[in-house]
Amino acid sequence: MEKTVSEAARLLDDHADYRVIRRILPRTSFAEADGKSLAKGVVVDTETTGINSDKDAIIELGMVLFEYDEETGRAYRVLASFDQLEAPGFAIPPESTAVHGITDEMVAGRRIDDEEVAKFLEGVTLVVAHNARFDRVFLEKRLPVFESLPWGCSLAQVDWNSEGIGSAKLDYIAYQYGFFYEAHRAEEDCFALLEILQQPLPKSGELVLKSILRGLAQKSYQIYATGSPFETKDILKARSYRWDADKKSWHITVAGDDALKAEVAWLKSSVYNEKKARVEIEVHNCMTRFSSRAGNRAAREI
């Protein structure tokens, strides 16, 4: 039967009118050891009771530990996987259960083991998540060990659009590479992301993980358009600025010095109408990027 299915899939693959989408199966190896010095990385994913880190909580943590070449981004062995549930201390909202399928009964009496997590992360030089801005905030609040590790993000640090992939949702990216998986459970999402990290980007040909590694040492800048005229709010929104109600300021995050210079120049001409103004710039690196912890922040006259 298996041979018949494989032959049918091969026939469809060879036909111009069809594409075969295959299930991602967890791998234990991506490449044979070749004598290179390898680093340890971990892919993480969380399931939570909601999206507000101030009031919601983690109910599942999944991790996959792997060896990789820091120069090429090539993964070698999968060393271990981790999946634990945790009771949040309140009822899981039905709309959350509808997404990930985790019920109050499943997490009753369960707690993520802090010591096991710390041991699992020993020697890790990179944490990767798909939407690290979400996972890192939740994880650092619950497990401070994640504060001391460098983070990369396969959502924010890969330009999927310019590579010809029109959506950055993980399951859509998987489809574009010819895969599917059972989404929205933490460990399964981790294995799916690791598989995608080892795919070549459609246009550049660079491994997805390599693209993230290139941006790891790069600084990112959160620019606050302080005192921007009210009438410029639509211009700022159209450029993907977000409103910070606490700081009462529009802000955007850009990566690299060139992008910072270009954004400041745009603010000067398009928002402040070439008038003297002051913006605030918060500097982040891989140790604070995507975290709720503040980076170094200073005002700048423009």
pLDDT tens string 119-177 = 999 999 999 999 999 999 999 999 999 999 999 999 999 999 999 999 999 999 999 99
Parallel, antiparallel, or unpaired: how do β-strands 249-255 and 278-284 relate?
unpaired
Residue pLDDT tens, the chain, 302 long: 556 877 776 777 777 777 778 888 899 999 998 999 999 999 999 999 999 999 999 999 999 999 999 999 999 999 999 999 999 999 999 999 999 999 999 999 999 999 999 999 999 999 999 999 999 999 999 999 999 999 999 999 999 999 999 999 999 999 999 999 887 788 999 999 999 999 999 999 999 999 999 989 899 999 999 999 999 999 999 999 999 999 899 999 998 999 999 999 999 999 999 999 999 999 999 999 999 988 889 999 99
Question: Are 152 and 73 spatial neighbours (Cβ–Cβ below 8 Å)?
Answer: no
Amino acid (one-letter) located at 177: Y
pLDDT reported for residue 1 = 57
Same CATH fold, 220-301 and 2-214?
A: no
Question: Are 195 and 180 spatial neighbours (Cβ–Cβ below 8 Å)?
Answer: no
pLDDT reported for residue 32 = 92
CA atoms within a 13 Å half-sphere pointing along the CA-CB vector of 202: 13
- pTM of the shown model: 0.88
Contacts of residue 201, Cβ cutoff 8 Å, sequence gap at least 6: 158, 163, 207, 208, 211
Distance from C-alpha of 293 to C-alpha of 146, rounded to nearest angstrom: 12
Find the largest Cα–Cα distance for the chain.
74
Each domain of the chain, given as residue ranges in start order, spans: 2-214, 220-301
Distance from C-alpha of 186 to C-alpha of 191, rounded to nearest angstrom: 9
Burial-class residue 170 by CB neighbours within 10 Å (0-12, 13-18, 19+).
Answer: buried
pLDDT reported for residue 161 = 94
Which CATH code for domain 220-301? 3.30.70
* Segment holding 293, helix H or strand E: none
| pLDDT digit string, tens, across residues 225-251 | 999 999 999 999 999 999 999 989 999
pLDDT reported for residue 7 = 78
Q: Which CATH class is domain 2-214?
A: alpha beta
pLDDT reported for residue 2 = 57
